[in-house]
């Protein structure tokens, strides 16, 4: 069975601080995909990134970066120089090969204080 | 490109009543998903369609929930009769084959 664990329920930091959101996953599949989604107060889930299990390269997109480590089954998300607009609930998710259902973690509520 | 559309955005009903939600996916997306998101939790898949066929409905409470996707485009999700524990946000998502899912704004259901 697939499982995603986001141990951090809530994180609160002051603007401009760096913050890392942790994600640990479990799967028996050799081919799988990992995702991060952002859910702002409006409620819509916004796609941030998708990585496949064969690509362990870290990725950077502006202030966002992702660290994928198969050895520890982790896919962590770092926001550098956080801004108030980054306040949201962030979900890590896992899917198997092909267009399959997403298994979500419980989410981490991130609050950036001015 | 228009995103995933859902309606209504909010619905309040009494227990034992019925309710229906509508979803219009992104044009050309073959796969459509309905998720249930209970407050404080991550979304949970209810049903997945590919074109107009069901791929996965293993977590759909079939005694009260039903869904259809007409002509492989729009979809409706129905609950009859509703229970208090059905209070949640119902999210529709769509994707091209083997690609990331794009979500609609959701329908917030409150059952009293």
* Residues A17-54 pLDDT 10s: 999 999 999 999 999 999 999 999 888 899 999 998 98
pLDDT at A112: 97
Tens of pLDDT, residues B100-111: 899 999 999 999
What value does the mean pLDDT of chain A take?
A: 93
Q: Of B89, B100, B106, which has the smallest distance from its Cβ to A50's Cβ? A: B100
**B45 touching A (Cβ < 8 Å):** yes
In the predicted structure, residue A99 carries a pLDDT above the cut 60:
no
Average of pLDDT values for A81-98? 93
Q: Classify residue A14 by burial, with Cβ atoms within 10 Å: 0-12, 13-18, 19+.
A: exposed
Q: Of A43, A104, A106, which has the smallest distance from its Cβ to B106's Cβ? A: A43
Residue numbers of chain B with a pLDDT score lower than 70: 1
Q: Report angle CA A44, B2, A40 to the nearest 5 degrees.
A: 15
pLDDT at B75: 97
Q: Of B42, B97, B108, which has the smallest distance from its Cβ to A91's Cβ? A: B42
Among B42, B97, B98, the residue to mutate for chain A (most A Cβ within 10 A): B42
pLDDT confidence tier of residue A98, bands split at 50, 70 and 90 = low
Instruction: For residue A9, report the phi and psi dihedrals to the nearest 5 degrees.
Output: -75, -45
Contact A43 B105 (CB under 8 A): yes
């Amino acid at each position: 069975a697939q499982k995603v664990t986001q141990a951090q329920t809530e994180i609160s930091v002051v603007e401009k601080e760096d913050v890392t959101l942790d994600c640990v996953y479990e799967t028996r599949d050799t081919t799988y995909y990992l995702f991060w989604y952002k859910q702002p107060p409006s409620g819509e889930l916004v796609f941030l990134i998708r990585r496949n299990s064969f690509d362990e390269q870290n990725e950077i997109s502006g202030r966002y970066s992702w660290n994928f480590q198969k050895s520890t089954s982790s896919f962590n998300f770092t926001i550098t120089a956080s801004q108030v607009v980054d306040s949201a609930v962030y979900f890590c998710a896992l899917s198997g090969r092909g267009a399959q259902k997403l298994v979500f973690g419980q989410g981490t509520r991130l609050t950036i204080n001015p | 490109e228009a995103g995933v559309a859902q309606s209504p955005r909010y619905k309040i009903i009494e227990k034992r009543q019925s309710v229906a939600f509508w979803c219009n996916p992104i044009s050309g997306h073959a796969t459509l998903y309905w998720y249930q998101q209970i407050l404080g939790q991550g979304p949970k898949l209810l049903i997945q369609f590919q074109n107009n066929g069901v791929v996965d409905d293993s977590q759909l409470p079939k005694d009260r929930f039903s869904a259809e996707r007409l002509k492989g485009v729009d979809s409706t999700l129905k609950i009859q009769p509703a229970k208090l524990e059905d209070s949640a946000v119902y999210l529709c998502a769509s994707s091209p084959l083997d690609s990331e899912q794009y979500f609609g704004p959701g329908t917030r259901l409150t059952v009293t």
